[in-house]
């Protein structure tokens, strides 16, 4: 006669949970998945060989290894993709932890001489610390400088020092400030899709997919044609998307800006969120997202 329940755990050392068996002694995979979402099978340690063995699975039905399930603890199998997803979430949270509140931002450089090039900027700012990005903004048609640009440093300390003083560059006094895009971050919204602003034309969908994979499973990349300097990237997990919103990321040497995909208007859901959390709510929601990522890391190791 079969057991009424078998013991199942996520890990051999975890507290097992009792899962009901069917009248014929089998266990439905759906019964396991009801307690362990995403489960695709079971395994157990063979007491004789001390090796892990898989439980026979036929069309959603798990069959006892011997005549019955015995007193073993069965361990849940998850698809490889699921495991990879967890690793990616760890990677995303690791990025957050590493950066903490000391992360650097792009700085706008105002008052550049018309003749100043990116090489000039890099040469100048490298005297303060390691530079990871410089840009001189130019007129698309003429190529003339617009008299301002952007710089980003590796070290937060360098950024602080650079903001705190004026700069004589090629004979003119220039100022470095945090750009406006940093001052008012976009309102949060629970979307799996992010808007990637300031893309360049040489960024392919493959480039973007390859880059964003490090944060989580990417389910779609969309680049409008003709070229419009932005793209959309969709993740499998909205928490990964949300965690990236507001970031300036460097892809192929270019600083792109991440924000929520949907525009602020024509979205009633977002209006509701804004009403509930108020104007300053975005900060707390982002902390909340980070907290969720850390919590998962705690649970899944």
Residues of the shown chain interacting with DNA in the complex, contacts defined by CB under 7 A: 105-106, 108, 110-114, 133, 135, 137, 140, 142, 144-148, 150, 172, 177, 179-182, 195, 197-198, 200-201, 227-230, 248, 255, 257, 259, 263
- Taking the least distance from each CB to DNA, the nearer of 74 and 188 is 188
- The kind and range of the H/E element at 231 are strand 230-235
Q: Nearest approach, Cβ of 262 to DNA (angstroms)?
A: 9
Alpha carbon 62 to its chain's center: 36
- Taking the least distance from each CB to DNA, the nearer of 62 and 245 is 245
Measured CA to CA, the distance from residue 219 to residue 172 in angstroms comes to 48
Sheet bearing 230-235, strands edge to edge: 218-222, 230-235, 193-197, 254-260, 248-251
Q: Nearest approach, Cβ of 188 to DNA (angstroms)?
A: 14
Enter the tokens of residue 52: 């892990």
Please give the span between the terminal C-alpha atoms of the chain, in angstroms, as a whole number.
38
Q: Nearest approach, Cβ of 90 to DNA (angstroms)?
A: 28
- Taking the least distance from each CB to DNA, the nearer of 47 and 171 is 171
Enter the tokens of residue 41: 């099978």
User: Are 71 and 81 within 8 A, CB to CB?
Assistant: no
- Taking the least distance from each CB to DNA, the nearer of 74 and 124 is 124
Nearest to 263 by CA among 191, 198, 199, 206: 191
Residue 212, Cβ neighbours under 10 Å: how many? 23
- Taking the least distance from each CB to DNA, the nearer of 35 and 102 is 102
Q: Nearest approach, Cβ of 101 to DNA (angstroms)?
A: 18
Enter the tokens of residue 133: 């990005």
Distances (CA, A) of 199 to 33, 133, 135, 232, 238: 41, 14, 13, 10, 22
Q: Which residues are CB-neighbours of 279 under 8 A, at least 6 positions away?
A: none
Measured CA to CA, the distance from residue 301 to residue 299 in angstroms comes to 6
Q: Nearest approach, Cβ of 116 to DNA (angstroms)?
A: 8
- Taking the least distance from each CB to DNA, the nearer of 74 and 150 is 150
Q: Nearest approach, Cβ of 62 to DNA (angstroms)?
A: 49
- Taking the least distance from each CB to DNA, the nearer of 13 and 142 is 142
Q: Nearest approach, Cβ of 161 to DNA (angstroms)?
A: 18
- Taking the least distance from each CB to DNA, the nearer of 17 and 229 is 229
Q: Nearest approach, Cβ of 155 to DNA (angstroms)?
A: 18
**Interhelix angle for 268-277 vs 281-300, to 10°?**
90
φ, ψ at 75 (rounded to 5°) = -110, 140
């Amino acid at each position: 006669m079969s057991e009424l329940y078998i013991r199942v755990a996520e890990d051999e050392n975890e507290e097992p949970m009792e899962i009901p068996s069917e009248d014929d002694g089998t266990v439905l995979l759906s019964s396991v998945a009801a307690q362990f979402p995403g489960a695709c099978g079971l395994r157990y340690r063979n007491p004789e060989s001390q090796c892990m063995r898989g439980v026979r699975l036929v069309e959603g039905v798990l069959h006892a290894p011997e005549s019955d399930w015995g007193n073993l603890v069965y361990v849940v199998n998850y698809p490889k993709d699921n495991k990879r997803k967890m690793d990616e979430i760890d990677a995303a949270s690791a990025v957050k932890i590493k950066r903490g509140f000391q992360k650097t931002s792009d700085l706008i450089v105002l008052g550049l001489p018309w003749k100043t090039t990116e090489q000039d900027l890099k040469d100048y700012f490298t005297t303060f610390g390691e530079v990871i990005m410089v840009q001189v903004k130019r007129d698309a048609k003429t190529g003339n400088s617009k008299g301002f640009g952007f710089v980003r440093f590796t070290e937060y300390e360098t950024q602080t020092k650079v903001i705190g003083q004026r700069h004589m560059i090629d004979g003119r006094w220039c100022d470095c400030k945090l750009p406006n895009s940093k001052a008012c971050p976009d309102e949060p919204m629970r979307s799996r899709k992010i808007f990637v602003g300031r893309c360049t034309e040489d960024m392919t969908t493959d480039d973007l997919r390859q880059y964003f994979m490090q944060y989580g499973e990417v389910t779609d990349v969309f680049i409008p044609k003709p070229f419009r300097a932005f793209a959309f990237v969709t993740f499998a997990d909205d928490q990964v998307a949300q965690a990236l919103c507001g970031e300036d990321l460097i892809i192929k040497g270019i600083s792109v800006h991440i924000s929520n995909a949907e525009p602020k208007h024509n979205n009633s859901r977002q209006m509701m969120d804004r009403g509930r959390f108020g104007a300053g709510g975005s900060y707390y929601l982002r902390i909340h997202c980070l907290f969720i990522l850390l919590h998962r890391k705690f649970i899944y190791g």
